[in-house]
Amino acid sequence: MLHPRAPIAIFRKTLPSVKRWTSISRCRGLLTLAIETSCDDTSVAIIEKTKSTNAAKIHFLENVTADSNAYRGVHPIVTLESHQENLTKLVDKALAYLPFAPEAAGGYKSIFLADGSRARCKPDFVSATRGPGMRANLFVGLDTGKALSVAWQVPFVGVHHMQAHLFTPRLVSCLNHNQGSSSSSHTVAPEFPFLSILVSGGHSILVNSSSLTNHEIMASSADIAIGESLDKSAREILPSVLLQDAKNTMYGKMLEQFAFPNGNNDYADYCPPLRRGDEVVKRETHWGWSLTTPFANTRQLEFSFSSIASAVNRIVAKKEKSGQTMSHEERVDLAREAMRVCFEHLASRTIIALETLRQQRPGEEVKTLVVSGGVAANRFLMTVLRSFLDVRGFGHVNIVAPPPYLCTDNAAMIGWAGLEMFEAGWRTDLTSRALRKWTLDPREDDGGILGPNGWQKV
């Protein structure tokens, strides 16, 4: 074994080629260190996948969220400084969680930590989010990832952030397999093709995925994302004392907790509109206001959430202008209505997409609906989607969503998407740059996932 202080020249002589290193890696599985810095979460993870059984293990996962409370929303400078302050500390902490290297492993396969502990397995490659996201923030993670790949002399994979959200349930299925007792091969689920709803503070898209890199965008938001609409509504509805005491800017999550303090017991009697025609019916409340579902009288495959937040703003402003104080009970009702209308709009367009796919591809029914992104952690959303599917003729469609800790931005999903791309033979050139905008769909002008320059096929 090479000594950790061996001359650099010795390390260079013993470094294998990428091709040889790839073949060695695949015999025992794959290990990656992953980085996510697309928005306000700085996240690092170490993920391992055993190729023979498709079992996955998260050795390390930790997030640091920028404190933008004073701005009541994501602040570009604050988030950038948070990444700069926290990323290297997280990487340093993660290294101690790398698996121990076998005693017979050569120096080029190992990492020696400064604490003098036993050698660790060197990651087979490094993963980092390349886009889409806040470009300056992305560069912090991307450049750190590329630097690690050079220092360790291993390949680099620049990951599409939304592809990572799409594949998170596939990671979960392999994590669950790792916890089981069976050692036989396991099929990664959900299998292609599947339909996905990606919902967060920055995205609201409906995607039909037929392969690793082929994703058809069936619907997207014409204005703001559903998460932004919920956040804006929350800032209007929530009592000021709750906003002042908030420890983060996850206002949509706070809105759910405020509206449904008893969890699903508060919406156990929810009944969806049985027919599309029922969606246009206004639900006038005893408070004298109502919220209208966007596009309720059309089959337009498009989302629009800005009108919901605007309507909430008008209701609250009208109350304040009249000199009245909105009671706690009215605020709760308004919170529930804002979420109901947002989620029913999402569910309605999803049903239209399923009906469209059924007509286009008779006999090839979609069996799985993936719900991912930060808003996927909302339990009321899952109730609305399940109810719509059941009453509109799609009761056979299974809803799959990651656990809450994997719904929000995290490096574990980045590492898993990196693993899937790496196994398919894809690498990213070290000249690659961060992408503020980057579509999933190969039919778009930028060519989708494989469109940007920098991809290499091994």
Give yes or no for a cis peptide into 193 (omega within 30° of 0). Answer: yes
Do the domains 201-404 and 8-186+409-457 match in fold? yes
Short-list 298, 393, 291, CA closest to 343: 291
- For the CA atoms of 207, 211, 214, 215, the dihedral, rounded to the nearest 10 degrees, stands at 0
Cβ atoms of 32 and 61 closer than 8 Å:
no
Q: How do residues 362-381 score in pLDDT, each as one tens digit?
A: 878 899 999 999 999 999 99
Q: Distance (Å, rounded) from C-alpha 268 to C-alpha 27?
A: 50
Q: Which pLDDT band, with edges at 50, 70 and 90, does 249 fall under?
A: confident
The pLDDT score that the predictor gives to residue 184 is 61
Domain 201-404 has CATH 3.30.420.40: yes
Q: How confident is the model at residue 28 (pLDDT cuts 50, 70, 90)?
A: low
Q: What homologous superfamily is domain 8-186+409-457 in, according to CATH?
A: ATPase, nucleotide binding domain (3.30.420.40)
**Residue 110 exposure: Cα atoms within 13 Å on the Cβ side:** 21
- Summarised one tens digit per residue, pLDDT across range 103-115 is 766 666 899 999 9
The CA distance from 349 to 220, in Å, is 10
Instruction: Indicate whether 73 pLDDT > 60.
Output: yes
| Mean pLDDT across the chain | 90
Peptide bond into 190 cis (omega under 30): yes
Whether residue 11 has pLDDT greater than 80: no
Domain locations in the chain as residue ranges: 8-186+409-457, 201-404
Cα–Cα distance measured from residue 218 to residue 215, given in angstroms and rounded to the nearest whole number: 9
Mean pLDDT of the 98-107 span: 79
Residue 13's pLDDT is 30
